[in-house]
Structure 1
């Protein structure tokens, strides 16, 4: 924006007879200095988990332990809570537990159980959805390792099938020690592996920010996370949001995502870099004159022209190549 206004002034100047312009426009002279040009906007980024309910309890009784907390990452086979001292385990699958699983049964829920047993290291056969002798022996070995009754069958209340594992979870308020469960309660919600990061902005700010601009986010522990502007959307409340994404293969918060609490959005100070810093010879952008052939020049105290190339411009200042530090260049005087 600032560079554009400088070029517009230069173009208007060139269109007039140079002698008239130089004689009629008051000028001052500014020395070229070594410095840095860049610009940024300081805004609040919102980090928020979006729970998707997918953990239905089928155990009836008193909750005796809760082994996960809000924001914890749950992995395949992990014990998540217990009811009447019998543990409940997390397994991966889109089919919810709906029946006890024992020898002779077949189906996708059996396949999901077999995948759990493979991960536990007690089953080496194929996950073919057929519960026969090999699966029964694997269940017995798994039950023995978990300290539960060894009978070769799995109660429907022993497992919560979650569509994606590992995943961070939000724990329901109903899942607390001493609570009574009757079965059918949604006790956990999957959060996915990373929270969403957005920046609410106004229409005026939107024009200053481009997709791909780098964003520095202040993490809760005082360190810095890096992101970039991916795109923008208007939410259901009419608020314009910048959607942020990671600049690497890792997530924005990487191994520190657990620092983002589950619940209301966490506001983190952020800096959107609208012009990456450039260092070099700095002069006011208003010093530029554009020749008829497109060359950009500056004029020194003696009236000599120097061809320059503009490296970066921001807030009325530009980094240029083609002149040295200390050269005084002609700039229109402020009225």
Structure 2
């Protein structure tokens, strides 16, 4: 009997290979360990595994289930992260330019021929010579009031008036001696400003006030002697130039031998700063005192602070669709952190929006749901709806009824 069964099994296998239908066997006639049966079961099991994998893949795409929680699916391989509470800060980078700011013309009042000019980039302070005109030094002093007149003792309008004495009729009238005119002190705020500088340079012997007295005149003569000037005791209109403090001299506006004038020499401050041409539509971040981060060309971050915001918007050169811009000036308190770099392009990073104490997950954890929107896959294979908010630093703000701190979600692979 066993030999007959073996031959029938081999025949059935041959017919199955040729695609011919095999008649079903009678119940109880199939041997318990037929080789052909084992192969058929293997094919069926493999087919079932493929179907399960396909279902899992459909679930991963969010197909099926439009509520806050989707149907559970077999967990897939991949890392998981926890939903956390965090503070998200949106940071934006814009281009800026490091330098000393725009040059301003020095108000040079001296007239004559320029006979000496300083090197560009020279730092000048109180008492230094800015340039020479007709070989006379033009000296820097500190102050906000410009030089608008000559300083010195004021000459009187006339001699002192004297009354005639009554003489006897027989005696001829005698001429009265005339007193020499006495110079009068010059008064004004410009005198106070000049005397403050003179005293700061070490030339004293007078009271620092609004009167140019004989004591001031003597101090001026000593100062003129040190400068190699004629000791007149008077300060000419073009002898000094006032600035608010130390300055950095820029490129001269004239050449040696040319006539002096207001544009003979430009200057800037001595402190390096950054200027950003910010979009007028997106300049809400530029608030005086707001902190920013300046990125140097070598990648070094430096702390900065918004110091000034321009009030006039400027259209971009050449027109186009670019929005108007306003200049934003950023100061750097620690000038040493800038190294030896004096000018060049830099980046400025500022804080835009900020969301505190919100639920957040890595952006990579978001999945797109078939019904629209975003969702998160839980550790056990369910998909929950997640409404997104602020994106910042690789994280995203999420919210939804099924979300809570500590919930484990999967990062798709």
TM-score with structure 1 length normalisation?
Answer: 0.61
Provide closer, same or farther for how the CA distance between residues 200 and 330 of structure 1 changes in structure 2, counting only shifts above 3 A.
same
In structure 1, what is the Cα distance between the partners aligned to 2:213 and 2:280? 62
In structure 1, what is the Cα distance between the partners aligned to 2:310 and 2:108? 35
* Structure 1 residue 45: Cα displacement: 1.0
In structure 2, what is the Cα distance between the partners aligned to 1:314 and 1:217? 19
> Mapping of 1:9-28 within 5 angstroms?
18=68, 21-23=69-71
In structure 2, what is the Cα distance between the partners aligned to 1:146 and 1:257? 36
Structure 1 residues 1-55: Cα deviation after superposition (integer angstroms, max 9, x where no partner): xxxxxxxxxxxxxxx755xx4129999664128xx99765454213462334342
Give RMSD over aligned pairs: 5.1
Mapped contact 1:101–1:154 kept (Cα < 8 A)? yes
The structure in which a higher percent of residues are strand is 1
Matching residue of 1:301: 380
* Structure 1 residue 159: Cα displacement: 1.2
The reply to whether residue 197 of structure 1 matches residue 304 of structure 2 is no
* Structure 1 residue 245: Cα displacement: 3.4
The reply to whether residue 58 of structure 1 matches residue 143 of structure 2 is no
Structure 1 residues 30-85: Cα deviation after superposition (integer angstroms, max 9, x where no partner): 4128xx9976545421346233434223141341x223524x44322221112233
Matching residue of 1:226: 303
Q: How many residues align structurally?
A: 285
Structure 1 counterpart of 2:366, from 286, 295, 299: 286
In structure 2, what is the Cα distance between the partners aligned to 1:100 and 1:118? 19
Matching residue of 2:118: 67
> Mapping of 1:139-288 within 5 angstroms?
139-162=220-243, 164-174=244-254, 176=255, 178-181=256-259, 183-192=260-269, 194=271, 195=273, 197-201=275-279, 206=282, 210=285, 215-219=292-296, 223-227=300-304, 234-237=313-316, 238-241=323-326, 243=328, 245-246=330-331, 251=333, 259-260=341-342, 266-272=344-350, 283-284=362-363, 286=366
TM-score with structure 2 length normalisation?
Answer: 0.52
> Mapping of 1:315-330 within 5 angstroms?
317-318=395-396, 322-323=405-406, 329-330=409-410
Provide closer, same or farther for how the CA distance between residues 26 and 161 of structure 1 changes in structure 2, counting only shifts above 3 A.
farther
Structure 2 counterpart of 1:89, from 117, 123, 139: 139
Mapped contact 2:94–2:276 kept (Cα < 8 A)? no
* Structure 1 residue 160: Cα displacement: 1.7
In structure 2, what is the Cα distance between the partners aligned to 1:55 and 1:26? 82
Structure 1 residues 279-304: Cα deviation after superposition (integer angstroms, max 9, x where no partner): xx9644638xxxxxxxxx9843277x
Matching residue of 1:32: 81
Mapped contact 1:62–1:180 kept (Cα < 8 A)? yes
Q: Report the structure number with the largest CA radius of gyration.
A: 2
Larger relative contact order (C-alpha < 8 A, sep ≥ 6)?
A: 1
In structure 2, what is the Cα distance between the partners aligned to 1:258 and 1:154? 39
Matching residue of 1:101: 151
Structure 1 residues 133-178: Cα deviation after superposition (integer angstroms, max 9, x where no partner): 210121122223334333322233321233x22334444321x4x3
SS of residue matched to 1:55: coil
Mapped contact 2:285–2:351 kept (Cα < 8 A)? no
In structure 2, what is the Cα distance between the partners aligned to 1:100 and 1:214? 46
Mapped contact 2:125–2:140 kept (Cα < 8 A)? yes
Structure 2 counterpart of 1:45, from 96, 99, 102: 96
Provide closer, same or farther for how the CA distance between residues 62 and 46 of structure 1 changes in structure 2, counting only shifts above 3 A.
closer
Mapped contact 1:227–1:244 kept (Cα < 8 A)? no
